[in-house]
Structure 1
Amino acid sequence: MTGLLDAPWFYWAVGVAIGFPVLLILLTELQNALRRRGSVLTRPVYLLRAYILPLGALLLLLVQAIQVNGEATPVRIVATVFGFVVLVLLLSGLNATLFQGAPEGTWRKRVPSIFLDVARFALIAVGVALIFAYIWGANVGGLFTALGISSIVLGLALQNSVGQIISGLLLLFEQPFRLGDWVDTATARGRVVEVNWRATHIETVAGLQITPNSVLAGQSFTNLSRPEGAHVITVQTVFALNDPPDDVCELLTRVAATLPQLRPGVQPSTLPLGGTEYATTIPLRSPADDAAARSTFLRWIWYAARRAALHLDEADDDFATEERLTASLRIVAPALRLGPGEESELVAHARLTRYAAEETLQFAGEVPRRMSFIVNGNVKLFVAGDDGEVVPVRTLSRGDFIGQTALTREAVSASARAVDEVTVVQVDREHVEELVARKPLLLQDIGRTIEDRRRSARRALAAVRD
């Protein structure tokens, strides 16, 4: 018995016999706990339990307990497999601890995958070299020397291409923009759709612009998408010198505030630049809305300036002539219950004007100051649902009217938006009151219209809720 206890292999055999199952149980419990938590360390612990622990125990038994020579082929094979599994564990553990669990916005999260691939390749190369050098006794120094000389030769031959690749890698690492961001460079303005080692692909209105990363890395450019929610455009306009600046600023700001591309919760602003120039700053949801917002704004202020008797681009408006107004009143005469010749009496109190397509003629909840009678075009009535969606009520056309609650001084229940260019005859409240005083049937018509449109709005909302 004393000879057995003194044997050098005895304690190694007992240690492996006791330690292996104990460690196996502990690692199994740890793996199950990590799996339940969804931890990124589950795979490294699995590799440790399923491969490294058994191979390590086998290696100890062969070398220490059975005392097989370390240079024997079976020992070298087991040691080689053990070394490869340790290398895989090292790669998996570093990836899990450093990069998979990295918080958003940190440098670890921004590291491009190509950097990780290069680091993995270098680690594998060093690991394999160490395995062959220490386990099999191979001379790997000559191989590394040859690879180093070859790398220098290839680098000199391909310095331009390699320079672009390095610039691309640095650009990827810094990440001044992401896919989908809008950038403004010296050569292109558009949305980033692809970034590779060599070039950045920018989608512009003229097509796909391919910009080498070395060019981007060597010049300044603007990321229009960062910071988020801070993108604005500035539109400059010119009005006549005699137009009151306050009236012009109020008009431009009011029109900009109704743009569909406007960023919610933020208001536009207008500043006079001196002389006849004005600058309107419009906050937008995205740089993708730039062209549409600018086009819509310029189109709408063309109509709004003429309605406000202001002179955009110092131009006069000769649309509302007396002949055209008289002809328009004949079209809307049935809605006003005007008899033959009575429209001429209303010429002095009516106004002919136009609205652009998609422009809003009235907003739900406002109290109209006049009634508008449609001469040409179509107007869509709509209400806002519980979650803000647009619920159509009906479409008005030639001969219909809006602003019917001007007489009762109540808020309208539905908004009105032009489907196409709309021409209307507007009559102020006091002159409509004079008409209904002489024509009681007109008052009844207006009252029925008010109730009918309220019922239509309620039915439309109820249909959406159901």
Structure 2
Amino acid sequence: MAEAFQDGWAWWVIALAVGVPVLLVILTEAIGALSRRGNPVAKPLRMLRNWVVPVGALFALLAFAIQSPADRVWVRVVATVFGFLVILLVLSAFNVALFANATPGTWRERIPSIFVEIARLTLVVIGLALLFSWVWDADVGGLFTALGVGSIVIGLALQNAVGGVISGLLLLFEQPFKIGDWLDTGGVKGRVVEVNWRAVHIDTGSGIQIVPNSNLSGASFTNMSQPDGPYSAETEVKFSTDDPPHEVMALLLETADALPMRMPGERASVQYSGAGAYGVSIPVAAPADAARALSMYLSWLWYAARRRRFALDGDSTDPLAEPQVLAAALAEIAPTLHLREDDAEALRSTAHLERYGVGEVVLPSGVVPDEVRVVLSGRALLSLEADGGRIEVGATEKGEMIGQTALTRERTKVVTIAGEILTVVVLPLNTVDELIRTRPRLAAEIGESLELKRTQAEARLSELGIAKGGIRGL
């Protein structure tokens, strides 16, 4: 027994018999505590407990306790397995230390997982080569030389394909854009819908354009979604040089500010470039809203310019301005206003026709109208403005009036919007007052119409469970 302790192998047996179970118990408790907290350190500790410690104990038993010769095959096999597990444990620990708790926005958080896997594979191969050199006395120099030459040959043969992959990996690592961002590459403009190692897929609105990563990495492009904040939808329009610039600019701003896509709290801007040219910039929440905003803006501007008799694109002609068209319209609404032949003749000098595009505001809320409009064609929607939105409470059909509260001098409580292309006959307030003074029946009909619309609006609010609050100005 004294000889056993003197040789040292007895101490190794005692140390392994006592130390390994104690170490396993400590590791098990530590792993349990870390797992309950969701700590990523539990993963390498689990590998240490389940694999490294048992195989290490077996290697220590063979090499130090039993004192088997180091050149024995089973000793070398166990040493190789133990060395391989130690390599994996070290790599797992580094991975947890570097990337598991990476701060958002740092390079450690942005680095693609493929980079980590390639680095891990390279280190494993190098570690195994060194391990075989130490344990098995293998000559790995020739292997590294062959791999180096082979890599050069393969790289030259696949340089174009590999170049695209490397470019994609660099883009993924740098992350100059993400899925959903809008890019302008000079030749392609649209929203990013997919990013892979080879190419970026961009939805241009008329199809998916596939742009190779090598093209993006070797040229400049614009990420229109960065930085966060309003994006400007910009366009240029031309009017006649006879149109007063400040009045035209006021019309451009008024039309732009009425757009539902305009970002709340931001105002549109207009720049006069001379020679009847104006640049308009409309703030929207994102590039995705720009196309819709410009389409709606330009269509509304066409109607608004005709109503103001401005020559948008140098053309101010409007069929509604023809005298015979107004005469036909007055004849059509004559039953509504109880007009006689001489009344129609008198109205031709004061009345006029207007058209509104779909979605345009015909009469805002909170104003006392100074004109009354009679719907000639189309349909207008009546909506209450609440919590930044609109609640539809009624409609005005052909032959009905818009702005009857001008007669009672009340402020409107609802906003009137063109639900379709809307054509109206506009009558000055004093003209309608004169008609009512000589036609009591017309006054009664207007009062009945107002009361009916109030009833319909209150019924609609009751249906939605919203307090009425006294709807009077319709």
TM-score normalized by structure 2? 0.88
* Structure 1 position 295, deviation (Å): 2.0
Counterpart in the other structure of 1:86: 86
Counterpart in the other structure of 1:288: 288
* Structure 1 position 376, deviation (Å): 0.9
Note if 1:30 corresponds to 2:35: no
Which residues in structure 2 correspond to 1:424-435 (within 5 Å)? 424-435=424-435
Counterpart in the other structure of 2:252: 252
* Structure 1 position 126, deviation (Å): 1.8
Which residues in structure 2 correspond to 1:61-460 (within 5 Å)? 61-318=61-318, 319-339=320-340, 341-384=342-385, 386=387, 388-460=388-460
Tell me, in whole angstroms, the C-alpha distance in 2 between the residues paired with 1:409 and 1:90: 84
Counterpart in the other structure of 1:53: 53
Provide runs of 4+ in structure 1 moved above 4 Å.
1-7
CA contact (8 A) 1:356 1:420 kept: yes
State the secondary structure of the residue aligned to 2:203.
strand
State the secondary structure of the residue aligned to 1:135.
helix
CA contact (8 A) 1:379 1:397 kept: yes
Tell me, in whole angstroms, the C-alpha distance in 2 between the residues paired with 1:365 and 1:105: 48
* Structure 1 position 154, deviation (Å): 1.8
Counterpart residue type for residue 213 of structure 2: N
Tell me, in whole angstroms, the C-alpha distance in 2 between the residues paired with 1:90 and 1:462: 69
Question: Structure 1 residues 150, 322: closer, same or farther in 2, change over 3 A?
Answer: same
* Structure 1 position 465, deviation (Å): 4.5
* Structure 1 position 460, deviation (Å): 3.0
Deviates more, 1:1-10 or 1:345-354: 1-10
Tell me, in whole angstroms, the C-alpha distance in 1 between the residues paired with 2:97 and 2:460: 56
State the secondary structure of the residue aligned to 2:410.
coil
Question: Structure 1 residues 155, 328: closer, same or farther in 2, change over 3 A?
Answer: same
Tell me, in whole angstroms, the C-alpha distance in 1 between the residues paired with 2:465 and 2:77: 72
CA contact (8 A) 2:273 2:279 kept: yes
Tell me, in whole angstroms, the C-alpha distance in 1 between the residues paired with 2:374 and 2:60: 98
* Structure 1 position 385, deviation (Å): 5.3
Write the deviation string for residues 409-442 of structure 1: whole angstroms up to 9, x where unpaired: 4333333322321101122333333333333443
Question: Structure 1 residues 80, 304: closer, same or farther in 2, change over 3 A?
Answer: same
Deviates more, 1:227-236 or 1:336-345: 336-345
CA contact (8 A) 1:202 1:210 kept: yes
CA contact (8 A) 1:413 1:457 kept: no
* Structure 1 position 108, deviation (Å): 1.7
Question: Structure 1 residues 191, 2: closer, same or farther in 2, change over 3 A?
Answer: same
Question: Structure 1 residues 311, 13: closer, same or farther in 2, change over 3 A?
Answer: same
* Structure 1 position 339, deviation (Å): 4.5
* Structure 1 position 252, deviation (Å): 0.5
Counterpart residue type for residue 348 of structure 2: V
Question: Structure 1 residues 165, 325: closer, same or farther in 2, change over 3 A?
Answer: same
Counterpart residue type for residue 118 of structure 1: I
Tell me, in whole angstroms, the C-alpha distance in 2 between the residues paired with 1:265 and 1:309: 30
Tell me, in whole angstroms, the C-alpha distance in 1 between the residues paired with 2:429 and 2:205: 48
State the secondary structure of the residue aligned to 1:317.
coil
CA contact (8 A) 1:413 1:454 kept: no
State the secondary structure of the residue aligned to 2:235.
strand
State the secondary structure of the residue aligned to 1:407.
helix
State the secondary structure of the residue aligned to 2:58.
helix
Counterpart residue type for residue 445 of structure 1: E
Question: Structure 1 residues 260, 151: closer, same or farther in 2, change over 3 A?
Answer: same
Tell me, in whole angstroms, the C-alpha distance in 1 between the residues paired with 2:49 and 2:443: 89
Question: Structure 1 residues 66, 395: closer, same or farther in 2, change over 3 A?
Answer: farther
State the secondary structure of the residue aligned to 1:210.
strand
Counterpart in the other structure of 2:470: none
Tell me, in whole angstroms, the C-alpha distance in 2 between the residues paired with 1:448 and 1:12: 107
Tell me, in whole angstroms, the C-alpha distance in 2 between the residues paired with 1:458 and 1:79: 87
Write the deviation string for residues 236-281 of structure 1: whole angstroms up to 9, x where unpaired: 1112223222211111011111223322332111121123111111
Tell me, in whole angstroms, the C-alpha distance in 1 between the residues paired with 2:100 and 2:464: 45
Question: Structure 1 residues 231, 286: closer, same or farther in 2, change over 3 A?
Answer: same
Question: Structure 1 residues 187, 441: closer, same or farther in 2, change over 3 A?
Answer: same
CA contact (8 A) 1:385 1:461 kept: no
Counterpart residue type for residue 47 of structure 1: M
* Structure 1 position 389, deviation (Å): 5.0
CA contact (8 A) 1:391 1:460 kept: no
Question: Structure 1 residues 427, 172: closer, same or farther in 2, change over 3 A?
Answer: same
Counterpart residue type for residue 326 of structure 1: A
* Structure 1 position 366, deviation (Å): 4.0
Question: Structure 1 residues 2, 405: closer, same or farther in 2, change over 3 A?
Answer: farther
Counterpart in the other structure of 1:42: 42
Counterpart residue type for residue 280 of structure 1: V
State the secondary structure of the residue aligned to 1:342.
helix
Tell me, in whole angstroms, the C-alpha distance in 2 between the residues paired with 1:364 and 1:30: 68
Counterpart in the other structure of 2:472: none
Question: Structure 1 residues 275, 50: closer, same or farther in 2, change over 3 A?
Answer: same
Tell me, in whole angstroms, the C-alpha distance in 1 between the residues paired with 2:78 and 2:340: 109
Question: Structure 1 residues 290, 69: closer, same or farther in 2, change over 3 A?
Answer: same
Tell me, in whole angstroms, the C-alpha distance in 2 between the residues paired with 1:14 and 1:217: 62
TM-score normalized by structure 1? 0.89
Question: Structure 1 residues 371, 197: closer, same or farther in 2, change over 3 A?
Answer: same
Tell me, in whole angstroms, the C-alpha distance in 2 between the residues paired with 1:428 and 1:327: 19
Q: How many residues align?
A: 465
**Identity over aligned pairs, percent:** 45
Tell me, in whole angstroms, the C-alpha distance in 2 between the residues paired with 1:138 and 1:84: 16
Tell me, in whole angstroms, the C-alpha distance in 2 between the residues paired with 1:340 and 1:317: 29
* Structure 1 position 20, deviation (Å): 3.0
CA contact (8 A) 1:76 1:136 kept: yes
CA RMSD, Structure 1 to Structure 2 (Å): 2.7
Which consecutive residues of structure 1, in runs of 5 or more, have no partner in the other structure? none
CA contact (8 A) 1:414 1:457 kept: no
CA contact (8 A) 2:230 2:263 kept: no
Write the deviation string for residues 266-304 of structure 1: whole angstroms up to 9, x where unpaired: 211112112311111111222223332222211111110
Question: Structure 1 residues 130, 249: closer, same or farther in 2, change over 3 A?
Answer: same
* Structure 1 position 340, deviation (Å): 5.3
Which consecutive residues of structure 2, in runs of 5 or more, have no partner in the other structure? 467-474
